[in-house]
Amino acid sequence: MLELETSYDLFRVPYIDYGALDQYAEAVLRHAMPKLGMPNLLTEPTVLDVMRFIEFYCEMDIEYKRINYDRKVMAMTAFNSGVVQVCDDTGIEPLPLIVREGTVIIDPILMQKRNLARRRFTFMHEGSHWLIHRPAFALDNPAGTPGVFENQYLAAKEGRIDYSRSQKERNGSERIERQADFLASALLMPKTTLRMAFIDFFKFYDDKPRAIVRGRSAWDDCLAVQLPEYIAEKFGVSKRAALIRLEKLSAIVGRPAWGYYDTF
């Protein structure tokens, strides 16, 4: 795996901005392609083979278990070998599960067909933790870890919390979740090929590529709905994930009080 080169805070949580995470994501994809025999993911918009990436590039084990900590938690990553409490087959009784470091545990509900896009994003979220947050959860971290569960070596994805749109970070745990959300989006929708898809979208309408401004016109409002749908289909993500990614890159923006927006 390609190591992240950046500075870290006292808890070994990376200090890194979104632009640097975008660059890292594309460097990871370039590094992964020859190893995994993938097509060139940076020459045209395509759907990333998430399972192959997680299992053969990140070299993570996968366990499908209902997670016992909180019903909202859909997935978690074990950064160190140990025992995790999950639910038994009844979904009621706790069951100890021995895991090795680098194990991602996924709630089986995500395996339903209707949850395909959510499952893909969740896997990449956990893979992103493994790529950039191992120092924070290392057993030799002198400051302790930012984990929120009792065994203190897990990073978990809560299904109802949207860290991607959060504007404030109250603690290190929230910062690592925002970073994992952003990196997952950047790996699934690389900036280079997302820009290609963005340009193709406007070509279809014989329009010039530009930032779509909600509230400026009925046409822009229509485009603000159609563009995320187009991107979602191109990259195999949910419309919501596509929309958030486009908003982060200022491809879709709110109505400005003055001036204009320069998109990616």
- In this prediction, residue 150 carries a pLDDT of 42
Residue 260: inside a domain: no
Instruction: Identify the CA nearest to 53 among candidates 112, 130, 107.
Output: 130
Rounded CA-CA distance 116/149 in Å is 27
Residue 181: inside a domain: yes
First to last CA, the chain: 28
- Centre a 10 Å sphere on the Cβ of residue 82 and count the other Cβ atoms it contains: 17
Mean pLDDT of all residues belonging to the chain: 86
Same structural domain, 200 and 76: no
Same structural domain, 162 and 230: no
Same structural domain, 230 and 146: no
- In this prediction, residue 137 carries a pLDDT of 85
Same structural domain, 144 and 214: no
For the residues 39-50, what does the mean pLDDT come to?
Answer: 91
Residue 2: inside a domain: no
Same structural domain, 146 and 235: no
Q: Is the dihedral of CA 4, 5, 9, 11 positive or negative?
A: positive
Same structural domain, 114 and 209: no
Q: Which of 188, 217, 241 is the last residue of a domain?
A: 188
For the residues 69-81, what does the mean pLDDT come to?
Answer: 80
- In this predicted structure, which of 123-127, 153-157, 214-218, 236-240 has the lowest mean pLDDT? 153-157
Residue 1: inside a domain: no
Same structural domain, 63 and 145: yes
Output 227 or 153, whichever has higher pLDDT.
227
Q: Which of 145, 170, 188 is the last residue of a domain?
A: 188
Percentage of the chain exceeding pLDDT 90: 57
- In this predicted structure, which of 56-60, 140-144, 193-197 has the lowest mean pLDDT? 140-144
Q: Strands 61-64, 103-106: parallel, antiparallel or unpaired by DSSP?
A: parallel
Same structural domain, 133 and 249: no
Range of the domain at 20: 7-188
Same structural domain, 178 and 50: yes
Q: Which of 188, 209, 239 is the last residue of a domain?
A: 188
Same structural domain, 40 and 127: yes
Which range scores top for mean pLDDT: 33-37, 243-247, 260-264?
A: 243-247
- Centre a 10 Å sphere on the Cβ of residue 140 and count the other Cβ atoms it contains: 6
Residue 24: inside a domain: yes
Residue 79: inside a domain: yes
- In this predicted structure, which of 81-85, 161-165, 172-176, 260-264 has the lowest mean pLDDT? 161-165
Percentage of the chain exceeding pLDDT 70: 83
- In this predicted structure, which of 9-13, 61-65, 182-186 has the lowest mean pLDDT? 9-13
- In this predicted structure, which of 36-50, 52-66, 84-98, 184-198 has the lowest mean pLDDT? 84-98
Same structural domain, 73 and 137: yes
Note the pTM of the prediction, 2 decimals: 0.89
Rounded CA-CA distance 10/234 in Å is 40
Same structural domain, 84 and 132: yes
- In this prediction, residue 84 carries a pLDDT of 84
Give the pLDDT confidence of 143-188 residue by residue, as tens digits. Answer: 666 554 444 456 666 554 455 555 565 666 788 889 999 999 999 9
For the residues 112-129, what does the mean pLDDT come to?
Answer: 94
Tally of structural domains, the chain: 2
Residue 258: inside a domain: no
